[in-house]
Amino acid sequence: MLATLLLLTALQNGPVKADTLRPPVAVSPQAREPEAFMVQQVTYVSEFINRFNHQITANGRAIPDSLQNTDARKGAIGQLFDRFSSAALNKTSFLRTHKNEFIEQVCDAAKPVRLTFLSNDLYATVRVQTAWQGREQPVDFYLKSATDRQGHAWKILDAQAPFLNESVGVGANVGPAKRNAKTAPDTARTRGFIPLNAQETAFLNLYNQMRDRHDLLQLAVQPNNASSSLVRLAQLVVQGQVTPVHTDYPTLYLPVANGWVVQVNFTNRRHEQSGWLITDLYQLTGTDSRRLPAPFLSYFRPQTPKK
Amino acid sequence: MKTLLCVCLLLTLSSAVWAQTFKGTQVGNDTDNTSPDLKAFTERTRQQVKALQEAINMISSPKTPVEDKQMAIEQTLGMFMKGSTIQVSGVKNPKRVNAYSLNEYLQNLSLLGKRYKVVEMRVYKPAKIADFVKNPDGTWSGNATYFQDFSAITTAGATLHDRVAKRIETWLKKEKDAFTNQEDWMLVLGNISVVEVNEVPVN
């Protein structure tokens, strides 16, 4: 029986001359780089979304409709979870206990859930190290995507830092921050928006706006209804009292249907999965939503799945 | 001198091609008849990034004469939007990232020859280009990630070797062509961030 099987296999593979045999790759004496699928970086957020939607492979090739199936997509989404995030390494974390449930719901064959890059549903926090009264002070910005027929951009929802609360009242009667008239038009300095792909360059565009003492309120979602800390920061920036030192890579929050929110961060590794990966998972129902940044909560709401 | 000619030619060609008219095409729902040919500009981005990498190599090389370096710096600045910022990782602490104006960075780069007797920057992986996104002011912006292998020998004989991935903003905006007096889409480079830094062990 075994001999027949071997014979059949040999016949299927066709005749092989002894001198054409090659050693298996695994015992090749040459050092090999890790396989591409193991280290393929999710370079851009738009690429993350396309891979989440199972529209492209890890190599960036478009997946045709004929190859779309639920199990393949489940595997693809599984690869987008960072295996080394603190939530992934903690056995009792919400991410560890709910990851499978999340993937099952997102990949539900009857109601598959997809994300959209050019939408109003991207949220980001970014820390900008600033110089204030001779000390380095971090300011956390909360941003939201805003999109319409004119174009796409990030808008500031809020900015928070302990020193902004301490200094409230100092010069609080200063009027709205005004654009620095010294700057020439049509340069990187004076663009009155933060482009939607600014997360890819660590929001350096926001850094430039602060460096050039521009009015941050012009970049706010609601310039006339901004929080006191954002108004205060905008004043200090225009007055040149707060200057940026550098920006960190941001954290993104993407609301997914059924009340799920994924946290996405840029990771950097040479021999493992890297780039934009899911580092935490949240559900808006129940007490879990308390872990999310407060400025976003009023914008997140359970959505109905999109077909 | 030969290198300078090559780099200048690359940079000049880059500038010259900006002036070419790319006729509008329909791409997705986000473009109209007045939109730039995004596919053509994706290829242009690849060429621009290559030209930038050649220029950086030349500016940093101790072998390049000072006058040639200054010419290359001027040409390079012409490829960028005014006021662009570049992030640079520290030599002693690669995790520490500082931001500089592009001019300041290029000037610092040209002085590397004072500390190093050999500086070489080469490309170790092809650049990865992102899709362009339309901005509220009618311009378009995208990104390109490029990969640099930096190796140097200090004047004291120590060897440094690391690999850096950097990401650069790319902008498409309409500008009046000086020759045709018509408005055409042009590609301009913008801010540059550090994506990753990996020290390569020295044998």
Q: Does B85 sit within 8 Å of A207, measured CB to CB?
A: yes
Q: Which residues of chain B from 140 to 199 reach within 8 Å of chain A, CB to CB?
A: 141-143, 145, 167-169, 190-193, 195-196, 198
A221: left (phi over 0), alpha (psi -120 to 50) or beta: alpha
Assess whether pLDDT exceeds 50 at residue B27. no
Domain coverage including residue A61: 38-112+257-279
Q: Does A44 sit within 8 Å of B133, measured CB to CB?
A: no
Q: Which residue has the higher pLDDT, B157 or A31?
A: B157
Let me know whether A160 and A239 are in one domain. yes
Q: Name the residue among A281, A275, A248 with its Cα closest to residue A262.
A: A281
* ipTM for the complex shown: 0.81
Count of CB atoms situated within 10 Å of the CB of B162: 16
Q: Which residues of chain A have a CB within 8 Å of the CB of B42? A: none
A280 - beta bridge partners?
Answer: A263
Let me know whether A108 and A169 are in one domain. no
Let me know whether A160 and A208 are in one domain. yes
Q: Which of A49, A186, A201 to mutate to test the interface with B (most CBs of B within 10 A)?
A: A201
Determine the pLDDT at residue A52.
96
Write the class of the CATH domain B2-199. alpha beta
Let me know whether A225 and A266 are in one domain. no
Q: Does A46 sit within 8 Å of B130, measured CB to CB?
A: yes
Work out the burial of residue B124: count CB atoms within 10 Å of its CB; fewer than 13 is exposed, 13-18 middle, 19 or more buried: middle
pLDDT, mean of residues A107-120: 92
User: In chain A, which residue's Cα lies nearest the Cα of B142?
Assistant: A197
Within a domain: residue A143?
yes
User: In chain B, which residue's Cα lies nearest the Cα of A201?
Assistant: B193
Let me know whether A208 and A128 are in one domain. yes
pLDDT, averaged across chain B: 82
Let me know whether A154 and A134 are in one domain. yes
The answer to whether residue A247 neighbours chain B at the CB level (below 8 Å) is yes
Let me know whether A129 and A234 are in one domain. yes
Q: Which residues of chain A have a CB within 8 Å of the CB of B82? A: 184, 187-189
Within a domain: residue A28?
no
d(CA A149, nearest CA chain B) in Å? 8
Determine the pLDDT at residue A60.
86
Number of domains in chain A: 2
Which tens digit of pLDDT belongs to each residue from A133-161? 999 999 999 999 999 888 999 999 999 99
Which tens digit of pLDDT belongs to each residue from B116-171? 888 888 888 889 999 999 999 999 999 999 998 888 898 888 888 888 889 999 99
d(CA A155, nearest CA chain B) in Å? 12
Count helices and strands (H / E) in chain A.
Answer: 10, 9
Within a domain: residue A58?
yes
B162 membership: H or E segment, kind and range: strand B159-176
The answer to whether residue A243 neighbours chain B at the CB level (below 8 Å) is no
Determine the pLDDT at residue A180.
44
Q: What is the reported pTM?
A: 0.81
Within a domain: residue A185?
yes
Q: Which residue has the higher pLDDT, B44 or B178?
A: B44
Let me know whether A236 and A168 are in one domain. yes
Among A244-253, A261-270, A296-305, B177-186, where is mean pLDDT lowest? A296-305
Within a domain: residue A141?
yes
d(CA A270, nearest CA chain B) in Å? 8
Assess whether pLDDT exceeds 70 at residue B85. yes
pLDDT, mean of residues B5-31: 44
Q: Name the residue among A280, A152, A222, A185 with its Cα closest to residue B133.
A: A152
Within a domain: residue A148?
yes
Determine the pLDDT at residue A14.
46
Q: Angle CA(A95)–CA(A98)–CA(A100) in degrees, nearest 5?
A: 110
Longest Cα separation, chain A: 93
Count helices and strands (H / E) in chain B.
Answer: 4, 8
Using 50, 70 and 90 to split pLDDT, how confident is the model at A300? confident
Q: What is the DSSP string of A41-87?
A: EE-SHHHHHHHHTTSB-TTSPBPPGGG--HHHHHHHHHTTB-TTSHH
The token duo for A86 is 């603190």
